[in-house]
Amino acid sequence: MPAEYPTLLPREPVVTAAEMRAAEAAAVAAGTSGFELMCRAGEAAAAGIAAFYGPAPVLVLAGPGNNGGDGYVVANALRQRRWPVEVAALAPPATEAAQQAAALWNAPVMDIADAEPRFVLVDALFGTGLTRGLEEPLLSQFHALARASSVVIALDLPSGAATGDGTALSPLVRADLTVTFGAMKPSHLLHPAAASCGRVVVADIGLGEIETRLFRNGAAPTAVLGADTHKYRRGHVLVVSGAMAGAAWLAACAAQRAGAGYVTLASETAMPPSSLVVQPLGAIDLARADAVVLGSGLGRDAAARTRARRVLGAGRPMVLDADIFSLFADDPASVFGLGAVMTPHEGEFARLFGDLPGSKVDRARAAAARSGNVIVLKGPDTVIAAPDGRAVINDHASARLATAGSGDVLSGMIAAHLARGEAPFDAACAAVWRHGDAALRGRDGLIAEDLVGLIR
């Protein structure tokens, strides 16, 4: 990679419930008790709550497990700050640590059925130990209390959210703030659960670095161009157009704005003169392209297939998008094993990989392993997975990206990163972040052309 493009910054780990339990067990084996961890968690959550909201009446809903235990610690810590606090429990604390935390509270605890709403509701019902959806009458009472509260704060996870796959096991209460412990969990980033977490704050409870291969996408480092750079050093992107020239044109413009020094549009249709080089495919030396976008605007007819095969054979770093997933739905082997970046949305993904089991992360990982390509499984919670099992969830995005052409822009951006020598996984992560960043700086009514102008 040219020296002017720094490598990616460290990313935030995202851990599963099992990884979290293993980290907790390791801490306990090393001499820190579960109760000590719970105290750190509850104290940190109380400090977070006090940082966001002034002293106000609080109702803590405590479940039977350690999430409930955290709730008792929060109640005690806020009471020590002279906040008026009440606690309502679903059942008596069932774990030793939670019993110690309840002893710390050492004040009356009411039944949830008798609880009245207060300004702040702290949801300490269930966290990573949730095994099934909330049942009646708890579910209705929980929602009623939340509706009548001004602020809802979830400890670790909104109760009802599974930890690992973003699903809601029962209807979720939308929190304003979720204080989680040690590291983010997949459901803080995967939808629909992510939409119910509100602002997510990670409290350090001294577990150290938790080993994982899943991360939250982080900012792409800014390119610092050397004074001696030149357009080819910044990378030559080729976008192969076809029946839908507009989509390919968008990808090409996005590649330019994302930093490619030279962009060629392979098109048989003449276009107005511009900084894009437009040439018929037959006149292009494919070996000179540092990265290729294949699929955006390509079309789905026999001619598109012939064009695609010719370009695939060139073995260049590649972004495979849009029409590629239809063109090769019956022959996926032709687009596998290329070390390329594939950017399907859910529908396109199903065309190529069928109905894979598991979470969005599981499915993207399985597809990456099967295809030998980096998979960018797009959506509000885009997942990027490499064949070696690394995966990243991107939440730096906006619903404004749900507009025609937005995917073509992303493809061009990924190609710009590939063309400057970045590895496919890094290129995809960086471009997805910048793509979301552009949309976040946009306004409602944003269209793909605007997005190109907003790339930074």
| R_g of the chain computed on alpha carbons | 25
Nearest distance from C-beta of residue 199 to ligand NPW, angstroms: 17
Strand positions, DSSP E, 49-124: 58-62, 85-89, 110-111, 120-124
**Site size with ligand NPW, rule: CB under 6 A:** 32
The token duo for 10 is 């460290």
Site for ligand NPW contains 38 (CB under 6 A)? yes
Site for ligand NPW contains 106 (CB under 6 A)? no
User: Which residue is listed with tokens 């044109």?
Assistant: 249
Task: Taking each helix axis as running N to C, give the angle between helix 17-29 and helix 34-52, from 0 to 180 degrees, rounded to the nearest 10.
Answer: 120
Is 131 within any annotated ligand binding site? yes
Distance of CA 47 to the CA centre of its chain: 27
> Of the candidates 8, 14, 37, 448, which one interacts with ligand NPW according to CB under 6 A?
37
Q: Give the nearer residue to ligand NPW in terms of CB position, either 66 or 373.
A: 66
Distance of CA 102 to the CA centre of its chain: 36
| Residue 427 contact, options ligand NPW, K ion, none, Cβ 5-8 Å cut-off depending on partner type | none
> Of the candidates 6, 18, 21, 92, which one interacts with ligand NPW according to CB under 6 A?
21
Q: Give the nearer residue to ligand NPW in terms of CB position, either 81 or 132.
A: 132
Q: d(Cα 415, Cα 292) in Å, to the nearest integer?
A: 6
| Subset of residues 60 to 79 that bind ligand NPW, contact rule: CB under 6 A | 63-70
Nearest distance from C-beta of residue 102 to ligand NPW, angstroms: 13
Is 450 within any annotated ligand binding site? no
Nearest distance from C-beta of residue 423 to ligand NPW, angstroms: 33
Q: Cα dihedral sign for 221, 226, 229, 231?
A: positive
CB 62 within 8 A of CB 90: yes
CB 146 within 8 A of CB 98: no
| Among 35-43, 268-276, 324-332, 344-352, the segment contacting ligand NPW (CB under 6 A) | 35-43
| 262-266: strand order across its sheet | 12-13, 214-216, 391-393, 383-385, 374-377, 341-342, 318-320, 291-294, 236-240, 262-266, 277-279
For the annotated binding site, the residues are 66-70, 123, 127-133, 156, 159, 247, 297, 345, 378-382, 407-408
For the annotated binding site for AMP, the residues are 378-382, 407
For the annotated binding site for (6S)-NADPHX, the residues are 66-70, 127-133, 156, 247, 297, 345, 408
For the annotated binding site for K(+), the residues are 67, 123, 159
Contacting residues toward ligand NPW, per CB under 6 A: 20-21, 23-24, 37-38, 41, 63-70, 94-95, 126-135, 155-156, 181-182, 205
